[in-house]
Amino acid sequence: MGWIHLVLGVLLLVTGLGLLAGPAPWARLTAPVLASVSVIADFFFLPYQPWWALVGIALGIFVIWALTRR
């Protein structure tokens, strides 16, 4: 199960670097999708690590909000 977070983390890191290096069109489309997948994965980890899962869900929702507002 930890592999899920590791793979998502690497994908989110690459996408974040794409956003920081000048908003690449692929990164602006990929980031909210990957953040949504991360929120869903954190939701499934609620019974095992409730505090970290809640922090991950809150951060993911904030990232989605920040990337989709004008």
Q: What is the pLDDT of residues 37-57, one digit of tens each?
A: 999 999 999 999 999 999 999
> Could you tell me which of 66, 48, 46 has the C-alpha nearest to residue 57?
46
Output the pTM of the full model: 0.85
Residues whose CB falls within 8 Å of the CB of residue 41, separated by 6 or more in sequence, listed in order: 4, 5, 8
Portion of the chain with pLDDT greater than 70, in percent: 99
> Could you tell me which of 34, 41, 35, 28 has the C-alpha nearest to residue 63?
35
Contact (Cβ atoms closer than 8 angstroms) between residue 28 and residue 67: yes
